[in-house]
Structure 1
Amino acid sequence: MEKLDSIIEAFSGAVWGIPLLVLLIGGGLFLLFYSRFLPFRYLGHAIQVLRGKYDDPDDPGEISHFQALTTALSATVGMGNIAGVAVAIAIGGPGAVFWMWISAVVGMATKFFTGTLAVMYRGTDSDGVAQGGPMYFITEGMGKVWKPLAIFFSVAALIGALPVFNVNQLTQAINDILLKPQGVEVGLKTNLVIGGILVLITGFVVLGGLNRISKTASRLVPSMVVLYFIAVMYILIVNIEVVPEYFKLILTDAFSASLYKGEPLYGGILGALIVLGIKRGAFSNEAGIGTAPMAHGAAKTDQPVREGLVAMLGPAIDTLIVCTLTALAILVTGVWENTGASGVSLTATAFAKAIPSVGKYILLICIAVFSISSLFSYSYYGSKSLSFLAGAKNKKYYNIFYVASIMLGATTTLDMMINLIDGVFALMAIPTMFATLYMAPRVMREAKKYFSSFKKSKG
């Protein structure tokens, strides 16, 4: 197991080099400037679209704009925001949060383009059902000659969509918050029991298909974001006198990297800190990775730009709001300096310190809902990838493989799971970003046409 752990760590380190960083952040910056900050100029319009102002039940697609966003958010608002941020701070210190913010701002532009492409170039699976996602916008938008790139993405997505990190951290949270304080001896046996319960819950929803997934996510995710927001705001109000100090520390440490504890990158710690922040940001909001366009491609709309605007809101909610709340809760309570905990255990320690007696249980409820809703969405992404590769009739086999992998996540180490998903996400980003940059001029032509007609209708 240790040898496998080191192999996966080496794989993750190899793919997350400078070239990928240039592709994700450099590509995102290009899209941001190329669009002349267009997505941000229409932020109000994006919120109106999300609220359903322009919904038409006769439009093509399976789910509403709101359900598409909550399905995408149910995959991203979860352990990336709670455990992923804690991992970033435990290794990189407060400065890692700044680079997560940069990842999110750039990611908003990237998501506008990928969300628009997901609807512009919807394809059909072997059952004739309209589908979206990088594999479809590559083949439909760039031509069949590029199909190997779509296949490469789909194969990587089969692994990238596995729920192993979420399950790993939910298992750790249940052990640390619920079982250990009750005197239960945790180990392989308790982990298997937790994994078995998650298999039953996930299997029930996953086998119900996209409509059940999207309906469940649209009910669960918003309420848990509100509960989490209230809990963290209480922590920040209690520690209000040090909040400005930690905002300042996030900014200064982002460039000094004086609190970074990991391995240097090419001999430098600042570069390593930037990579850490971008990795955790990408894991949190998935901008440029290619999973969210699969959900956005199913939205009921005949206006691709509308879905691009809705998709753009994802990183703002996910990273700029939820991740920042988690980071500040960990920082202002001081637990990041005086405990060796990492991942979800570090966040739980912060909640327990700031809200005695009930804090860790509030966190456990949020973690459970975020994690389980993530399990539902990721199964949809993986089954879509298998449908593309082997035909829609075979997608049910992915769900069996997916549900079985829950047991793997429940019984392995945090480092192994996070390195595995990081590495595969990097592979998924290559075809997604290449295709997005290749077709960016088409998105801008579509956007100009849409906003021109929108202004005329208002005038």
Structure 2
Amino acid sequence: MFKKIEQLVAGFSSWIWDWPLLFLLIGGGMFFLIYSRFTPFLYFKHAIDILRGKFDDSKEDGQLTHFQALSSAIAATVGMGNISGVAIAIVAGGPGAIFWMWVSGVIGMATKFYTCSLAIMYRSRDEKNIPLGGPMYVITAGLGSKWKPLAILFALAGLVGTLPAFTANQLTQTLVDVMGWTEGDKFYIGVTLAIIASFVILGGIKRIGAVASRLVPAMVALYFITVLTILIIQIEYVPEMFILIFKDAFSGEAVAGGALGYLIKTGIKRGSFSNEAGIGTAPMMHGTTKTKEPIREGLVAMTGPAIDTLVVCTLTALAILSTGVWKDGDENGITLTLKAFNSVLPYGIGDIILIIMILVFAFSTLFSYSYYGNLCLGFLTKPKYGKYYNYIYIPSIVVAAVVKIDFAINLIDSAFALMAIPTVISGLLLAPKVNQRAKAYFKSLNSVV
């Protein structure tokens, strides 16, 4: 029975992630990029100033600061998608897949600017008058009730897409690999993870934001230093790896057997999982920010893909490629990354560093995803009932710990694809509204300067 379900999910994932959806994500992102005239990119420094708290106002409506919102959103992206997902992309599509992940990242910056600006522009409120954001509220408030079926599609897909299938699976695999445990131990690992995660998850969005804002910056810095150390040791191979990435990006010869189309789809798909631009999860987190200025939050959100795809994914890719472990063909992403670390760093150091980072990244991802699921269930019922999603989410961590990685990947990919359709369509239809607000905001900003 389960075998049949695995086959159905795999078939659906392959079908829906074909060219039409990729055209929607990349074509939509290109539209946002051109339609904005690249203007948001000129205010990247301003986005950093916002993150530093220069424009924070504790009296403004919302639950999280700009920095906490970005940290929580990044917590759901900088993690398994950047450490394990990159390895999966290289094994499946070859080194050239990284180039298409970069393309996804640059385009994703424009997509996040629009979708997260909209999340502030069209916020809803719960019974306690607390602001709620996300594509489902953008659709109903921005496009009207006749578009509600599209909002319902997003929320239904979100109930599945925010499950911890991939994250818990790869975290469990890391512990098994490093600690020398057996496959039979995965169930007990899953139970332990579920118990630990529940302490933060049941505390709500403010606790999630507070924890993420402390953990994520430290772990990104540690990961950056570790991988940079590997690249310094392997410095003679790094230029060659860049050449390999660019060369293979347009040939697909390294692993994909010359199947360029498959390589592009692999890179874009894994890039979308890495930065989630256009998927619709980030707007749910950014929609909780203490701000009344949509464009300000759009600029903050735009920095997300720059950090997780253009920086962290690139570092992971270079570590895997420069050490040559990608040629082993090991399809388990996290195991491959672990091999890259251990092949260069002193014995045992790679295991220790990676397991610490994986634990933090994975738990921070689990925290953020639980909130996304809460919002989706709250939209489909009433906001006050959203918390009951946790009683599905926490036990699912145990299930995710023992399932096969292929099933975990295909399940989340399928849900992400369904979430992307309403997110991008609503973003495209409401883009003129964002441009109107952006023009006024940048004009006022320049007049002050």
Query: Is the TM-score greater than 0.5?
Result: yes
Verify the 8 A CA contact 1:125 1:388 in the aligned structure 2. Answer: no
Q: State yes or no: 1:301 paired with 2:305.
A: no
Provide the residue aligned with 1:24 in structure 2: 25
The answer to which of 390-399 and 299-308 deviates more is 390-399
Amino acid at match of 2:351: K
Equivalent runs, 1:230-309 vs 2, <5 Å = 230-261=225-256, 269-309=259-299
Identity percentage over the alignment?
Answer: 57
Verify the 8 A CA contact 1:134 1:432 in the aligned structure 2. Answer: yes
State the Cα deviation string for residues 75-100 of structure 1 (Å, max 9, x = none): 00110001100000011111000000
Q: Tell me how far 1:342 sits from its aligned partner.
A: 2.8
2: CA distance, partners of 1:362 / 1:167 = 19
Provide the residue aligned with 2:35 in structure 1: 34
TM, length-normalised to structure 2: 0.98
Q: State yes or no: 1:444 paired with 2:440.
A: no
Give the number of equivalent residue pairs.
447
1: CA distance, partners of 2:255 / 2:145 = 46
1: CA distance, partners of 2:126 / 2:135 = 14
Structure 2 residue matching 1:116: 3-state secondary structure: helix
TM, length-normalised to structure 1: 0.96
Provide the residue aligned with 2:396 in structure 1: 405
Structure 1 residue matching 2:76: 3-state secondary structure: helix
2: CA distance, partners of 1:289 / 1:114 = 10
State the Cα deviation string for residues 253-274 of structure 1 (Å, max 9, x = none): 0001001338xxxxx8111110
Provide the residue aligned with 2:350 in structure 1: 359
2: CA distance, partners of 1:129 / 1:359 = 44
1:381 pairs with one of 369, 372, 379: 372
Q: State yes or no: 1:202 paired with 2:197.
A: yes
Q: Tell me how far 1:337 sits from its aligned partner.
A: 1.1
The answer to which of 117-126 and 296-305 deviates more is 117-126
Amino acid at match of 1:225: V
Q: State yes or no: 1:396 paired with 2:387.
A: yes
Q: Tell me how far 1:282 sits from its aligned partner.
A: 0.3
Q: State yes or no: 1:350 paired with 2:344.
A: no
Provide the residue aligned with 2:309 in structure 1: 319
Q: Tell me how far 1:341 sits from its aligned partner.
A: 4.7
1: CA distance, partners of 2:43 / 2:329 = 44
Structure 2 residue matching 1:439: 3-state secondary structure: helix
Structure 2 residue matching 1:396: 3-state secondary structure: helix
Provide the residue aligned with 1:140 in structure 2: 141
2: CA distance, partners of 1:428 / 1:56 = 32
Q: Tell me how far 1:363 sits from its aligned partner.
A: 0.6
2: CA distance, partners of 1:387 / 1:126 = 11
State the Cα deviation string for residues 162-218 of structure 1 (Å, max 9, x = none): 01100000000000011x1xxx4x123x11110011111111110000010000000
1: CA distance, partners of 2:167 / 2:159 = 16
5+ long unaligned stretches in structure 1: 263-267
The answer to which of 126-135 and 359-368 deviates more is 126-135
State the Cα deviation string for residues 95-132 of structure 1 (Å, max 9, x = none): 00000000000000000001100001111234432111
Provide the residue aligned with 2:183 in structure 1: 187
State the Cα deviation string for residues 231-283 of structure 1 (Å, max 9, x = none): 10010000000100000100010001001338xxxxx8111110100000000
2: CA distance, partners of 1:125 / 1:425 = 25
RMSD (Å) for aligned C-alpha atoms: 1.1
2: CA distance, partners of 1:23 / 1:38 = 22
5+ long unaligned stretches in structure 2: none
Q: Tell me how far 1:339 sits from its aligned partner.
A: 5.0
2: CA distance, partners of 1:93 / 1:360 = 25
